[in-house]
Chains A and B, each alone.
Chain A
Amino acid sequence: MTAVLPARPLRPAVPAARPTSPTGRLIDQFEYGLDAPICLTWELTYACNLACVHCLSSSGRRDPRELSTAEAERVLDELQRMQVFYVNVGGGEPTVRPDFWHLLDYAIGHDVGVKFSTNGVKLDRARAEQLAATDYVDVQISLDGATAEVNDRVRGAGSFATAVRALENLAEAGMRDFKVSVVVTRENAGQLDEFRALTDRYGAQLRITRLRPSGRGADVWDSLHPTQDQQRELYSWLLAHGDRVLTGDSFFHLSAYGQALPGLNLCGAGRVVCLIDPVGDVYACPFAIHEQFLAGNVRSPGGFQRVWRSSELFAELRSPQTGGACTRCAHFDACRGGCMAAKFFTGLPLDGPDPECVQGYGEAALAARAASTVPPRSSLDHSHTGPVRGQPTLLGMPSIPKAPAKTCDESPLAGLDLR
């Protein structure tokens, strides 16, 4: 497939000079990047028991090149040296890695706190009790519908029940402050209050994040991303309830409605966040698994620290945007042009509007894409190749793929249109 790669905005080859005023805004400092990430996502495996339609990392099958236990320990040693105080661990489904619980203890023993995302498949009573007794670990259960009906269409039949059982086990074990993590879609955007009620029931905290067209998310983005009306409602809801809801600062593009949302209103890719994938590749952000955003690998000399501090890609991302259509918009200071990954995987230029720009420039840009535009896709795909138990039904019932008709097929009528 030939993908039309949107050009990265031209940026100076040498890193721009950092402002030095002690009273300046932090956001201006963050634009130039930090010595170590604040928020590092580490996907431990591409293996997953589910096959969610919107999986940002196209997970399913384990990659044979995944980091070994010893290599993962070396990464944790390095994170401790760099004072990365906690990592967000995900996957795939991280808990299906046989050494998951060992790595969890290893991280905590090395002053690296862990917040891990799981679909709950391994959180039985014993594990819930173990977690409740461990300091410095946070659990995030993924749920994309406040009802089984809405959730299972996207995450697969039975996944709601699995998640709720995990929530019950955690609550019973006395675990505090665990999270329910929701990707806001067109189908669940009306359930925000229900999500709140559900999380309250278990003494948990609600975390909602934005759907990105990354991984398999690209296949369903057109039908699942919230409508403009839903975005507007979400914005009002966040202004009213934002103090009690976590967002990973992922809705900063909504700030262009007027009032800034709490948190960092800036794309943190390569500046304050990055991703280490299961094979040790370092990407600018968890939603940007693509060669164009690949900064290096933790297995190379100098390890993760060298990638974070010396990669050319990150140096480029750490320059403030000075050109492009968005810098001329009155709302640029509020939304800073939105999400890099959302633009990239919809085939939009990186210095132009976000596809979900609340001022409507994104829709216009999508409509104006050349007919020949093929949005770039990651060359990595670890999706299950066969049927999965509890297949999501959003895309219709799974069917047995038909082999292409060939002249050597048994039937003499193969390939013949008999209508």
Chain B
Amino acid sequence: MPDPAPFDPSLPWRRARSVALRPEPFGALVYHFGNRKLSFLKSPTLVSVVETLADHPSAEATLVACGVPEAQHPAYVKALADLARSQMIELRESPA
């Protein structure tokens, strides 16, 4: 399978439709019903970012809306890029 395009935080994203989040004390467990991959969201803030991606025009805007401090944006973008690679989040067609 060819590598998907690199994660672009300026585009609109959403939690993939076949993905479920299970709340956990540390954040959440992420499960993809299609490819059966399991992943973890290691902070409650990251959980709200993933849950509200679809409400904002871009991933960057979601980080701002969720109150992620500027200095932590690169770490969060990296986490989202990992989730995009494992198909836990997906691009959506139209902006919110």
Contact = CB atoms under 8 A, between A and B. Distances in A.
Interface of A: 18, 20, 22-24, 26, 29, 32, 34-36, 38, 83, 85-86, 111, 113, 136
A87 to B, nearest CB: 13
B27 A22 contact: yes
Contacts of B75: 23
B20 A85 contact: yes
Task: Summarize A's interface: helix, strand, loop or mixed.
Answer: loop
Nearest to A29: B26
A26 B36 contact: no
Given A22-B43, A86-B36, A38 B29 contact: yes
Task: Please give me the 6 A-B residue pairs with the lowest Cβ-Cβ distance, nearest first.
Answer: A22-B43, A83-B22, A29-B26, A85-B31, A34-B24, A35-B24
Given A26-B42, A83-B29, A136-B36, 14 more contacts: A22-B43, A22-B46, A23-B43, A26-B26, A29-B26, A32-B25, A34-B25, A35-B24, A83-B22, A83-B31, A85-B31, A85-B33, A111-B20, A111-B33
A24 B20 CA distance: 23
Nearest to B30: A85
Contacts of A18: 25-26
Contacts of A38: 29, 38
Contacts of A23: 42-43, 75
B43 to A, nearest CB: 3
A161 B44 CA distance: 51
Given A26-B40, A83-B20, A35 B45 contact: no
Contact of B45 (A22, A34, A136): A22
Contacts of A34: 24-25, 29
B95 interface: no
B90 to A, nearest CB: 19
A316 to B, nearest CB: 18
A113 B36 contact: yes
Contacts of B33: 85, 111, 113, 136
Contacts of A136: 33, 36
9 contacts: A20-B26, A23-B42, A23-B43, A23-B75, A29-B24, A34-B25, A85-B20, A85-B31, A113-B33
